[in-house]
Amino acid sequence: MTEKRIKINDLFINFFEFKPENEQGLFLILHGWGSRAEKWQKAGELLAQKGYKVVIPDLPGFGRSGKPTRIWDIDDYCNFVSEFAERLGLEKFYLLGHSFGGALAIKYSLKFPAKINKLFLVGAACFRRKTIRKRIFCVIAKILKIFSFLPCYQIFRKGFYKFVVRSDYPYAEGVMRDIYLKIIKEDLSEFLPLVQVPVIIIWGKKDKIKSIKEGRLIQEKIKGSKLEVLENAGHSLYKECPRKFIEIVDQYL
């Protein structure tokens, strides 16, 4: 594994590169919100052992990469991925996106389908519509603000968002908080039927962040897609059971 840096549009971007002994393909992996390339090290190593070169960037605003200077949306991140791939000379590759990275991967596949051999969506965050559950949490969050004068308010608030709402909002700072609020408003439902590249959907059955129901709905909307479910895994299945996860990926290569 080699850690590298590159400057793209005034942003310093950190990324990891895994090179196999005999290269037979290329993988570009897009991590989820609040994550970073380093967390994908084991998965990258396993793919390299199977003969694939793997490139994993810290997306702007995460890990050791610089933060955007304005409020980005998914299309801005999509343009970044395009520039990143061009600068590194990534001509055609397998694209794997996890959670927020999955939403980003879908948008990228619609704009640049010729660049993708196959698309892997892992616990992808495609649906952002307000459910009754989300509306209830919004009301509770507003009520909690009444107690903001209490010394333990911030600790309790972060616990509420992390363990009850399961949101990354309180952990985002500065421009990243505004970016987060903008991104979670973009629902990709209408775009899914437009995906033309081969798609493999991988989901943890015990995923509490993105329900398996969402994985099945993505499969319904993307014609010809395949769904693989890891029975004992949650949202971070690439860390929970990396070997089984890569075995599933490998069987579709």
Output 223 or 164, whichever has higher pLDDT: 223
> What structural domains does the chain harbor?
2-128+186-250 (3.40.50.1820), 132-165 (no CATH)
For residues 19 and 47, give the distance between their C-alpha atoms in angstroms, rounded to a whole number: 9
* One-letter identity of residue 54: V
Q: Which residues, in sequence order, are bridge partners of residue 25?
A: 52
The residues, any chain, with a CB within 8 Å of residue 75's CB and separated by 6 or more, are 107
Please give the average per-residue pLDDT across 110-119, as a whole number: 96
Residues 16-62: tens digit of each pLDDT: 999 998 888 999 999 999 999 999 999 999 999 999 999 999 999 99
For residues 177 and 234, give the distance between their C-alpha atoms in angstroms, rounded to a whole number: 25
Which pLDDT score, from 0 to 100, does residue 128 have?
72
Which pLDDT score, from 0 to 100, does residue 137 have?
44
Residues 143-157: tens digit of each pLDDT: 556 656 566 656 655
Residues 163-194: tens digit of each pLDDT: 554 555 566 678 999 999 899 889 999 999 99
Output 140 or 187, whichever has higher pLDDT: 187
